[in-house]
Amino acid sequence: MNQDNIFFDYEGDNWFKRNQKSLLKTTEHDFILDMIRSYNIIPRAVLEIGASNGWRLNEIYEIYGSKCTAVEPSELAIKDGRERYPHI
């Protein structure tokens, strides 16, 4: 088993388990969202690699109506995101 397999099989889900509760509180002081706001960017489409459950993409979708696509190795994060944000 190599490092990539270990990450994809275990660490993605483990990271999500450790951080799941804090993900619900992050939109107010998020660097990426702050940059989008400060530069008055209105994104038409957004791809986020390492999107967790899609919380940031959901915020972008709700504010700008952007087409959002998430790439995430954690099956737990994907499942949670599909339940919370089915439009992402």
Q: How many CB atoms are located within 10 Å of the residue 87 CB?
A: 10
35 vs 3, which has greater pLDDT? 35
Could you tell me where the DSSP H helices lie in the chain?
A: 3-6, 12-23, 31-38, 55-64, 75-84
> Of the candidates 5, 25, 9, which has an alpha carbon nearest to the alpha carbon of residue 74?
9
pTM of the model: 0.83
* Cβ atoms of residues 5 and 64 within 8 Å: no
pLDDT tens column, 13-67: 998 999 888 877 667 789 999 999 999 999 999 999 999 999 999 999 999 999 9
- Residue spans of the domains in the chain: they are 3-84
